[in-house]
Structure 1
Amino acid sequence: MMKSDDRIPEIALDWLQAGRKVALATVIRTWGSSPRPVGAQLVIDGDMAFEGSVSGGCVESAVIFEAADAMADGTCRRLSFGVSDETAFEVGLACGGEIEVLVEPLDLGQGPTRPELEALVAARAAREPVVWEVDLTNWTRRLLPRDTADGELEERFRTDRSALDGDVFRAVHNPPLRLVVVGAVHIAQPLVSMARMAGYDVVLSDPRDSFAAPARFPGETFLDGWPDEALEAYGLDQRTAVVTLSHDPKIDTPALEKALASEAFYIGALGSTRTHAKRVAALTEAGLPADAIARIDGPVGLDIGAVSPAEIAISIMAEMTERLRRPDTRKGG
């Protein structure tokens, strides 16, 4: 389930369909310090109700009032805000800086049409990575699907970074992050909680009833079947991380084979250096190429001297975050 801040296009469409006037505000450029990245959005209705965030404080208030004017006259707006270090906290810029915000009335005047917004929401619902492109000179818009032959577009999806190029703004809409935890062991308990706090949708896979007990993981979702079958049915994509924790090769190895055949951005496996060496040998014997096996982070987690289950979960989340936000650190071919 996406957080409300990540559901701004969906909320905007819901409000439109309910007959409300709606405007979208999007951060299109930042300089210096800014608490919200390029691509962050705020949705506002005709009564000045809003969801999401583009900054905070006075910047937020000014954007909301500009959105009201945009809904009244149907014109888009580019707003720039500059803040000194001394007054930065008053307007939500942590250490001073500048932001530029695009305000668009929806299904009105220069703004995007309802069918355009519906197409974006449909792509997001289908977990299709797309780029929402806006030409700021003539207010035309395109929805660009993923094309692996387009190196520039692939780099956008890989780094998850929206950007303003000249007078063309390209907003990356990647699918929500997901984590599959294989092995419902004690480390999985803090890991599931931490991953959720970091914005991941989490599922678990463990064929052992005594481990996959609701009392141990209240309210959590378990995939049916053995992990290899479960991962195949679930579907792994470039926004999915897989962590195997069972320490049982009968469970972990088939799951790793499925993960390595996918575009999962992070594949971590619990176990000592010696255990991982045996794992690599087993996968090699199963016919997997060396560059594929090299994608596994094993032993899992950053080497921070973690001892307790919670500390090990922290090390896993740290490594997973690095692989996500710094794609150049991802292992293997």
Structure 2
Amino acid sequence: MDSALVSALNAERAARRAAVLATPLSGAPARLLRAGEPLQGDPLADEIREAFRSGVSRRVTGADGDVFLTACLPPPRLVIVGAVHISQALAPIAAIAGFEATIVDPRTAFATEARFAGVRLIAEWPEEVLPGLGLDPWTALAAVTHDPKIDDFALRHALERGCFYVGALGSRKTHGKRIERLSAAGVPADDLARIRARSASPSARPARPRSRWR
């Protein structure tokens, strides 16, 4: 393979940008497709889009013969904002699922190595840390502190950066107030609708049916 092509592919991977390497099995020169580049008129446009979508490398057949598409997508990451009890369970689950987990929380009483052994832990404010982490469409963010001073910036930044999943913990009332604050801060309604909110309040859970034996 051409060394310039290898260098270009490595540069995309280092920058956490998706790319697809199309290698004709006939021996013709390979080519590098970058995420976001136009594919109109490309005989393998549908197959290349599928490679970007799925991350699966495979052999395909085009007008000029068989081509192997090598999908190079950035590894998934999870950024957890809040060094709380739920984070102690979520970080190991993320690791099992193949996600690199990072926990961000400025509260040093919570963000301790003793509570999060083996997990990347950053005891600083999200506004100081997240821009440098390079959140992207292959990053998920979960804000779990219930504290607007910590969560709100993180949610806004994750939405701006196009994270594939943006989640926040809180009751229906808490989430309603969160939406009001973010809307007032200028976050578009379509972006706000992307926030996945799950209630941690027992009062918000469906009532259990009464047993007829009581």
* TM-score over 0.5 for the pair: yes
**Deviation of 1:158 (Å):** 3.2
Question: 1:298 maps to which residue?
Answer: 197
| Residue segments in structure 2 that go unaligned for 5+ positions in a row | 206-214
**Deviation of 1:228 (Å):** 2.5
Equivalent position SS for 1:218: coil
The one of 55, 66, 89 aligned to 1:190? 89
Question: 1:146 maps to which residue?
Answer: 35
Q: Spell out the pairing of 1:75-154 with structure 2 (5 A cutoff).
A: 112-113=1-2, 116-150=5-39, 152=45, 153=48
| TM-score relative to the length of structure 1 | 0.53
**Deviation of 1:283 (Å):** 0.8
The alignment's C-alpha RMSD in Å is: 2.3
- 2:180 is equivalent to residue 285 of structure 1: no
Q: Aligned partners of 2:115, 2:123: CA distance in 1, in Å?
A: 17
Q: Aligned partners of 2:31, 2:166: CA distance in 1, in Å?
A: 34
Deviations 1:109-133 (A, max 9, x none): xxx3555444433432232211011
How many residues are matched? 191
> Do 1:135 and 1:141's aligned partners in 2 also have CA atoms closer than 8 Å?
yes
Q: Aligned partners of 2:12, 2:161: CA distance in 1, in Å?
A: 20
Q: Spell out the pairing of 1:6-21 with structure 2 (5 A cutoff).
A: none
> Do 2:16 and 2:74's aligned partners in 1 also have CA atoms closer than 8 Å?
yes
Equivalent position SS for 1:164: strand
Equivalent position SS for 1:138: coil
| Residue segments in structure 1 that go unaligned for 5+ positions in a row | 1-111, 306-333
> Do 1:268 and 1:300's aligned partners in 2 also have CA atoms closer than 8 Å?
no
**Deviation of 1:201 (Å):** 1.2
The one of 265, 275, 282 aligned to 2:174? 275
Q: Spell out the pairing of 1:67-82 with structure 2 (5 A cutoff).
A: none
> Do 2:56 and 2:71's aligned partners in 1 also have CA atoms closer than 8 Å?
yes
**CA separation of 1:228 and 1:155: change in aligned 2, threshold 3 A:** farther
Deviations 1:57-96 (A, max 9, x none): xxxxxxxxxxxxxxxxxxxxxxxxxxxxxxxxxxxxxxxx
Equivalent position SS for 1:247: coil
Q: Spell out the pairing of 1:120-269 with structure 2 (5 A cutoff).
A: 120-150=9-39, 152=45, 153=48, 156-166=51-61, 167-223=66-122, 225-269=124-168
Equivalent position SS for 2:21: strand
> Do 2:127 and 2:153's aligned partners in 1 also have CA atoms closer than 8 Å?
yes
> Which gives a bigger RCO, structure 1 or 2 (Cα 8 Å, sep 6+)?
2
Q: Aligned partners of 1:129, 1:189: CA distance in 2, in Å?
A: 30
> Do 1:147 and 1:154's aligned partners in 2 also have CA atoms closer than 8 Å?
no
Q: Which moved more, 1:178-187 or 1:127-136?
A: 127-136
Q: Aligned partners of 1:216, 1:246: CA distance in 2, in Å?
A: 16
Question: 2:208 maps to which residue?
Answer: none
**Deviation of 1:154 (Å):** 5.2
Q: Aligned partners of 1:295, 1:232: CA distance in 2, in Å?
A: 20
Q: Aligned partners of 2:185, 2:192: CA distance in 1, in Å?
A: 11
Q: Aligned partners of 2:199, 2:120: CA distance in 1, in Å?
A: 23
| TM-score relative to the length of structure 2 | 0.80
> Do 1:146 and 1:154's aligned partners in 2 also have CA atoms closer than 8 Å?
no
**CA separation of 1:121 and 1:212: change in aligned 2, threshold 3 A:** same
**CA separation of 1:263 and 1:237: change in aligned 2, threshold 3 A:** same
Q: Aligned partners of 1:156, 1:228: CA distance in 2, in Å?
A: 34
Deviations 1:126-181 (A, max 9, x none): 32211011112334311222225448555532332334331122121001111100
Q: Aligned partners of 1:148, 1:122: CA distance in 2, in Å?
A: 16
**CA separation of 1:149 and 1:290: change in aligned 2, threshold 3 A:** farther
Q: Aligned partners of 1:252, 1:218: CA distance in 2, in Å?
A: 23
